């Protein structure tokens, strides 16, 4: 069986970092807080998924839900002038779209290839 946990974990780390990068160029404290609140959990969960050398299919489903919810939240906030980075807008959209696609891939993998339901 392929190690889907590691693949989704690496994607989570990459897209979590994409959401944290604009925080270093931003001067607004509330935007900095939003970038960190939405980026750090994805980064930590992605690191844990790559470190765990387990083949549990339920972890794929859990990572998919984290990716999907974080991606949708980042995309909705990136469309508002309140949240989006003034200098590095592209990173917000890359993180959001990448997480949504990764979450959908995880849902497909957990339901079709691993035989789990999408809802726990």
Q: Is residue 118 part of a domain?
A: no
Work out the average pLDDT over 44-54: 81
**In which domain, by residue range, is 88 found?**
4-113
Sign of CA dihedral 8, 104, 18, 32: negative
Which of residues 35 and 71 earns the better pLDDT score?
71
Q: Is residue 53 part of a domain?
A: yes
Q: Which residue, among 101, 115, 107, has the nearest Cα to 65 in the 3D structure? A: 107
Which of residues 86 and 79 earns the better pLDDT score?
79
- The span from the CA of 40 to the CA of 36, in Å, is 6
This prediction has a pTM of 0.87
The residue count for the chain: 120
Indicate the number of domains in the chain: 1
């Amino acid at each position: 069986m392929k190690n889907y946990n590691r693949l989704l974990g690496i994607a989570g780390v990459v897209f979590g970092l994409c959401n944290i990068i604009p925080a270093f160029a931003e001067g607004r404290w509330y935007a900095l807080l939003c970038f960190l609140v939405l980026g750090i959990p994805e980064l930590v969960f992605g690191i844990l998924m790559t470190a765990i050398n387990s083949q549990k299919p339920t972890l794929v489903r859990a990572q998919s839900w984290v990716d999907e919810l974080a991606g949708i939240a980042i995309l909705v906030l990136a469309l508002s002038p309140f949240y989006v980075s003034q200098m590095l807008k592209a990173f917000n959209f890359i993180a959001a779209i990448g997480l949504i696609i990764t979450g959908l891939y995880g849902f497909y993998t957990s339901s079709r290839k691993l035989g789990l339901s999408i809802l726990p």
